[in-house]
Structure 1
Amino acid sequence: MARSHRAERIRAFRAAMTRVESFLAELTGGTFREWSQEVVTADPLAFGEEQAYASRLAELQADDPLAEASRVGFGAIGGHAVVLVSSDYEFVAGTLGIAAAERVARAFGVATVSRRPVISICQSGGTRMQEGTPAFIKMLSIGAAISEHREAGLPYLSYLMDPTMGGTLAALGTQGHLVWAAPGASISLTGPRIVEAVTGRPFPRDEISAEAGLRRGLVDDIVQPGELAPRIAEWLDIVSPQAALPAISASRTVPAPVDTHAQQPPDAWRSVTRSRERDRPSIESVIEASGAPLIEIRGDRAGSDDRNLLTGFTSLGGEPAVAVGFRRPQGRGAEVWPGGYRKAQRAISIAEELDLPLVSFIDTKGAGAGVDEESEGLAHSVGSLIRELLGVRIPTVSVLMGEGSGAGAIALVAADSVIALENAWLAPIAPEAASAILFRNTERAAHMVRGQAADVAALREEGLLDSIVPEEPTVAETSEMLVNAVASALRKTAAMPPEERLLARRANVRSLARQHLTIREPASSPYVESLPLD
């Protein structure tokens, strides 16, 4: 009976080898070429079980002495040369032993030297128990290799199949700039069967499904295996250094800034009311006008994905970028929870790693207000985002689309270039709330916003804005104008050396509102005289 079971398992493995080869061939259009097969599994601990580990390996490697749970090699996807790392689940449940982990680490090393993106296909039970702690600590080799690859500014996308668990998930599967999953895939650090055996409690399988992971922002998308190649190619067109992007631009010319000195400045309260109209440009309408896809970055990787903030890879006027922006779910700029700002910070970090510009679209009625938001660290998440934007060396452009209320708006406004639609505004808090603070009612809202230098004319006088885009009769027309304005700003800021760009951004922020200062002569003292006042 045992011999019959082993024979059946060997037949299943051979069939699975064919399935893995077919999958990789389909993914790469037949271009996959395997290497690192010289790194093979032994039985380092002379591990004993019902069937000796060495005997099990001998059976699995009977037809191919170089067989392992990791298959790595070169291939091409959508014209992009890539390095592929793939699990073979039928070889000891796709687990990472010492040799399998070494193959993966070498693959990332080769990808770094050859400056190629990495695509990993994960389907694994985790770390190989028969190789014990040596295999466990070998996971760190994968972490080091991925770290070097990402530090080199090279893209990495991981695809999680059913199941992906344990050390493979932690060391390899979660570390992509994007993490996609197959529908229904089970994804967890500890498998349900193990949890149930150890704790004696049932473990709900649907809580570790790919779909649950997407809701919680632990994966970025669910992609059918048959759709994987074109979706990866679409992403590589934006992020890969080898990508030759078509110039996607609107038909209109880049608008000249509105001359607010030569015409009647917009009324601040009128701008507030117009910014709250339902039919307004949004981050979605601008991306639609660009003619490019948006490949989403989902979640803060801490269990939250605030859908009121949209983040992802796109191209604006032919300029590849990471976009971050507030949605307008009920015809108003959304409130965003702390997890949304953490998601934005994650997107900015990815943009910095891949040397992609960042474009922020601001339209919000304010940061979320309530006990739950505060308990989740709202102030910390906003403050960290501001610090992040003033520390990155990539080109940054911010667009004031409409409402710019409170901390939610200020979190994303610091940039190398700031553009505004003519009816946008920026204020410490919504005018109604400002009225309530000073007059204990909301009836003086118009008075408050008119007195706070919140409209675009005043913002340009303050030195915050670089250009103001006029609003056309339709959302589509205005969105086209914004695509071109953003593309022009990106090209201008990208022309500056990174260090010079960062210093200029910080200097500009430091100079804001300085004209309103009254500097009194300090008391003479050696300490005061040594202070850097500029």
Structure 2
Amino acid sequence: MARLSVVELLSTVFDDLRPWELPVADPTLTTTYRPELDAARERTGHDESVLAGEALLRGRRVAYVAGDPAFLLGSIGVAAGERITAALERATAERLPVIAFPVGGGTRMQEGTIAFLQMVKVTGAVMAHKAQNLPYLVYLRHPTMGGVFASWGSLGHVTLAEPGALVGFLGPRVFEALYGEPFPSGVQLSDNLADRGVIDAVCPPEQLGDALHRLLTVLLARIEAHLTSEDHAVAPREPDAVALPDVPAWESVLRTRREDRPGLRDLLELAATDVTMLNGTVDGESHPGSVLALARFGEAPCVVVGQDRGLQDVPLGPAALREVRRGVRLARELRLPLVSVIDTPGAALSKEAEERGMAPEIARTLSELLTLPTPTVSLLMGQGTGGIALALTPADRVLASQHAWLAPLPPEGASAIMHRTTERAPELASAQGIRSADLLANGIVDRVVPEPDDLAAEPDAFCAALGSALRDELLRVMAQPRRKRRAARARRYRELGL
């Protein structure tokens, strides 16, 4: 498979490349190393294994840092490490998003331990950039191995990769030399890592420009609108109160269990724009019923975390909440509002869920949502059963679809505990106050969004109504001064039930 050179790739993705003058000093050159370095420079026309500069991406200024595998296999020595660091520092100073193109096998062995430690310097520069709430996006190329992958290759807010790229920590040749057998095939391929939730997606080079543009349209929305703090957005007026029909709780439960009811992915497809679906925890865990995305509802950008009702044949486990917590980190690091969407029949009840820390993950997710400094909106979209629903509930504003409900157990479970039979589930559903009207009366939700009578016939109208409500509530909380908003969130839950 022919792959683009580094210059061809940059020219495919960006317009108007402008390399930065970032001169670097040669390292101490041994008799054998000098000819290798000179030959690499002559062959590539570059002075080092890293190129850096700025460019236009669909008219937007960005910075790039890219490895060149044709230059000593993209290895990182002192000069290359210094160039990456200096480029990141300049991008941070100029408040530019960074697109990183790591490649290569890691440390330049000709320079030894001092080259090895360059990864610490580079990592520090990446973290300083992210500390300024600036995007750092990564595109992994073939091959990205060793210290490159274990430093600037694994720190992206979003990580994409070439299809079929070799990506991993341990080089296959090193493994075979050490252990006398080949490394298992297919493990260190970008496609496998995407399936495992280590990276977000594979993306062909010709589609990368559009993917990055879509991401930055969300990530930079507040900066590009000159909304540098939460107290500059314009809040829409409060919605008029809506009279809701007095529907029995059990009827709502049955409606949310219908197979043709739209879910979170339908909501994103029909009511959001500039959607990028992310994948997994980046720690090698994912669940198909868990959703993590970057999107906009109207002009309001956000990180979306939640549960999709259509893909929970295997109940949600602790990994689903670790994916939520990744979304919380993104919201914190990028100063984006967070939308959490609840629609689940309940968490996994199993030996594996216990050993993987279900209860601690619920507690951690609750604590992170309660203390997240950015605006938060929660949407109860359908079923809301148990601790895994509770974990996504805390927010500045909480919405509920008309027939959505929230309960500590499914009504059948509550009936079995109270009456030793599941037959009194409708009675327990009513008695426990689980329906949206009861949640509104008890101050658990702030707003109920009416539903069409037949969701299967009107999924567009259902999703459009929820999307419009989310847009309004996001703008409402974005308009509040941060201290006032966070104090109100704390007070809301302190006074719950009093």
Q: TM-score range by the shorter chain?
A: over 0.9
What is residue 484 of structure 2 aligned with on the other side? Answer: 500
Deviation at 1:489, TM superposition (A): 0.5
What is residue 462 of structure 2 aligned with on the other side? Answer: 478
- 2:15 matched to 1:19? no
What is residue 417 of structure 1 aligned with on the other side? Answer: 397
Kept after mapping to 1: 8 A contact 2:44/2:71:
no
Which residue of 280, 283, 308 maps to 1:302? 283
Matched to 1:126, the amino acid is G
Deviation at 1:84, TM superposition (A): 0.3
Matched to 2:9, the amino acid is F
Matches within 5 A, 1:163-178: 163-178=143-158
Let me know the Cα RMSD of the aligned residues: 2.1
Matched to 1:174, the amino acid is S
Deviation at 1:164, TM superposition (A): 0.2
Deviation at 1:64, TM superposition (A): 7.9
Matched to 2:412, the amino acid is E
Deviation at 1:503, TM superposition (A): 1.6
- 2:475 matched to 1:491? yes
Matched to 1:434, the amino acid is A
1:163-195 C-alpha deviation (Å, 9 max, x unpaired): 100111111111110010111111111111111
What is residue 18 of structure 2 aligned with on the other side? Answer: 33
What is residue 521 of structure 1 aligned with on the other side? Answer: none
- Aligned partners of 2:42 and 2:449: how far apart in 1? 69
Deviation at 1:289, TM superposition (A): 2.4
Kept after mapping to 2: 8 A contact 1:127/1:136:
yes
Deviation at 1:361, TM superposition (A): 1.2
- 2:175 matched to 1:195? yes
TM-score for both structures, normalised by structure 2: 0.92
- 2:142 matched to 1:162? yes
Matched to 1:205, the amino acid is S
1:439-482 C-alpha deviation (Å, 9 max, x unpaired): 22211111111111111121112111111010024121011111
- Aligned partners of 1:315 and 1:62: how far apart in 2? 47
TM-score for both structures, normalised by structure 1: 0.86
Matches within 5 A, 1:44-123: 46=30, 52-62=32-42, 67-123=47-103
Q: Secondary structure at the match of 2:23?
A: coil
Which residue of 108, 129, 133 maps to 2:109? 129
Q: Secondary structure at the match of 1:447?
A: helix
Kept after mapping to 2: 8 A contact 1:463/1:512:
yes
1:129-175 C-alpha deviation (Å, 9 max, x unpaired): 11111111121111111111101010111011111001111111111
Kept after mapping to 1: 8 A contact 2:12/2:205:
no
- 2:417 matched to 1:437? yes
Matched to 1:504, the amino acid is A
Matches within 5 A, 1:211-360: 211-240=191-220, 242-243=223-224, 256-259=240-243, 265-329=246-310, 335-360=315-340
Deviation at 1:216, TM superposition (A): 1.1
- Aligned partners of 1:291 and 1:318: how far apart in 2? 10
What is residue 233 of structure 2 aligned with on the other side? Answer: none
- Aligned partners of 1:288 and 1:429: how far apart in 2? 30
> Larger C-alpha radius of gyration, 1 or 2?
1
Kept after mapping to 2: 8 A contact 1:333/1:363:
no
- Aligned partners of 2:319 and 2:43: how far apart in 1? 51
Matched to 1:278, the amino acid is E
Deviation at 1:307, TM superposition (A): 1.4
Kept after mapping to 1: 8 A contact 2:218/2:274:
no
- Aligned partners of 1:360 and 1:384: how far apart in 2? 15
Q: Secondary structure at the match of 2:274?
A: coil
Q: Secondary structure at the match of 1:110?
A: helix
Deviation at 1:204, TM superposition (A): 1.3
What is residue 391 of structure 1 aligned with on the other side? Answer: 371
Which residue of 332, 336, 360 maps to 1:380? 360
- Aligned partners of 1:333 and 1:444: how far apart in 2? 25
* Shift in CA distance, 257/197, structure 1 to aligned 2, threshold 3 Å: farther
Q: Secondary structure at the match of 1:26?
A: helix
Question: Which region of structure 1 is more displaced relative to structure 2, 192-201 or 341-350?
Answer: 192-201
Kept after mapping to 2: 8 A contact 1:36/1:103:
no
* Shift in CA distance, 445/146, structure 1 to aligned 2, threshold 3 Å: same
- Aligned partners of 2:251 and 2:142: how far apart in 1? 55
* Shift in CA distance, 452/172, structure 1 to aligned 2, threshold 3 Å: same
- Aligned partners of 1:411 and 1:358: how far apart in 2? 14
Q: Secondary structure at the match of 1:173?
A: coil
Kept after mapping to 2: 8 A contact 1:34/1:72:
yes
- Aligned partners of 2:480 and 2:361: how far apart in 1? 29
Question: Which region of structure 1 is more displaced relative to structure 2, 280-289 or 155-164?
Answer: 280-289
Deviation at 1:389, TM superposition (A): 0.2
What is residue 42 of structure 1 aligned with on the other side? Answer: 27
- Aligned partners of 2:121 and 2:241: how far apart in 1? 53
- Aligned partners of 1:103 and 1:201: how far apart in 2? 37
- Aligned partners of 1:275 and 1:204: how far apart in 2? 45
1:181-227 C-alpha deviation (Å, 9 max, x unpaired): 11111111111111111122321130111111011111101100111
Question: Which region of structure 1 is more displaced relative to structure 2, 272-281 or 350-359?
Answer: 272-281
Matched to 2:96, the amino acid is R
Matched to 2:243, the amino acid is D
- Aligned partners of 2:423 and 2:48: how far apart in 1? 72
1:482-518 C-alpha deviation (Å, 9 max, x unpaired): 111111111111111122211211110111112xxxx
1:371-390 C-alpha deviation (Å, 9 max, x unpaired): 11111111111111111100
Matched to 1:38, the amino acid is P
Deviation at 1:65, TM superposition (A): 8.2
Kept after mapping to 2: 8 A contact 1:352/1:394:
yes
- 2:495 matched to 1:511? yes
Deviation at 1:255, TM superposition (A): 6.2
What is residue 124 of structure 2 aligned with on the other side? Answer: 144
